[in-house]
Chains A and B, each alone.
Chain A
Amino acid sequence: ELKVEQNPLFLSMQEGKNYTIYCNYSTTSDRLYWYRQDPGKSLESLFVLLSNGAVKQEGRLMASLDTKARLSTLHITAAVHDLSATYFCAVDLFQGAQKLVFGQGTRLTINP
């Protein structure tokens, strides 16, 4: 059974600081997603990581994937208040049919 674990689950930080969210998963997969969710809203796709060593960046967010360690990271650089949201990683499990397994989510609060 695939398990996806994020840490930390809650993160409160000040504007201008850097931090990293970690996503560990328990079985082989070559496709990992990061999503953002604002309160009461749907999921917004941030990154799709397709291979070992993949790195993608968008603004102050950078995601990476190490398939050998079964680890993905979402790094936040010089945080701003607008990045406050809940962030989810999700792993694509292809076993006969496609399934997406989510981590618990990291609630990020950025204080001025």
Chain B
Amino acid sequence: NAGVTQTPKFQVLKTGQSMTLQCAQDMNHNSMYWYRQDPGMGLRLIYYSASEGTTDKGEVPNGYNVSRLNKREFSLRLESAAPSQTSVYFCASRMDYTYGYTFGSGTRLTVV
């Protein structure tokens, strides 16, 4: 089915390890987003890419980097994981402001 695909679905990291969360969409959407969800805090924007070749910080960017590899793919990298980055990460995309968002199924990350 068309949509937003996130990999992996689950991951456990040790403090200080690095990893990249992958996100791909096959809907030809222009904008892509990374959110994190923590209990009782809703979803918070980490980084977004309004169009291919551009990225911007969101509300909570510290400790993360992103790459908009092409129009389909938007990756999120943790260079040195910390326990505070334990969360559920959601990728989302949309065509433009006139359209709604499509969310991926999420990546549950635990940093020990």
Residue ranges of A at the interface with B (Cβ–Cβ < 8 Å):
4, 9, 31, 33, 41-43, 45, 48, 88, 90, 92, 94, 97-105
| Number of residues on chain B facing chain A (CB within 8 A) | 25
CB-based contact A42/B103 at 8 Å: yes
Interface centre among A31, A43, A105 (most CB of B within 10 A): A43
Q: Chain A: which residue is nearest B51 at the CB level?
A: A97
User: What 6 A-B pairs are tightest by C-beta distance, nearest first?
Assistant: A102-B42, A97-B50, A102-B43, A43-B103, A104-B42, A42-B105
Q: Chain B: which residue is nearest A4 at the CB level?
A: B42
Q: Which A residues touch B44, using CB under 8 A?
A: 102
Q: Which B residues touch A94, using CB under 8 A?
A: 97
Q: Which B residues touch A103, using CB under 8 A?
A: 42
Q: Chain B: which residue is nearest A5 at the CB level?
A: B42
Q: Which B residues touch A45, using CB under 8 A?
A: 100-101
Q: Decide yes or no whether B74 CB sits under 8 A from chain A.
A: no
CB-based contact A88/B43 at 8 Å: yes
Q: Interface residues of A: mostly helix, strand, loop or mixed? A: strand
* Given A42-B106, A43-B90, A99 and B101 contact (CB-CB distance below 8 Å): no
* A11 vs chain B, min Cβ distance (A): 14
Contact of A42 among B41, B90, B96 (CB under 8 A): B90
Bound-complex Cα distance A53 to B42 (A): 26
25 A-B pairs within 8 Å (CB atoms) are namely A4-B42, A31-B97, A33-B100, A42-B90, A42-B103, A42-B104, A42-B105, A42-B106, A45-B101, A88-B43, A90-B43, A92-B97, A94-B97, A98-B94, A98-B96, A99-B45, A99-B48, A99-B58, A100-B33, A100-B45, A101-B59, A102-B35, A102-B44, A103-B42, A105-B40
Q: Decide yes or no whether B56 CB sits under 8 A from chain A.
A: yes
CB-based contact A100/B101 at 8 Å: yes
Q: Which A residues touch B106, using CB under 8 A?
A: 41-42
CB-based contact B40/A9 at 8 Å: yes
Q: Chain A: which residue is nearest B104 at the CB level?
A: A42
Bound-complex Cα distance A31 to B101 (A): 12
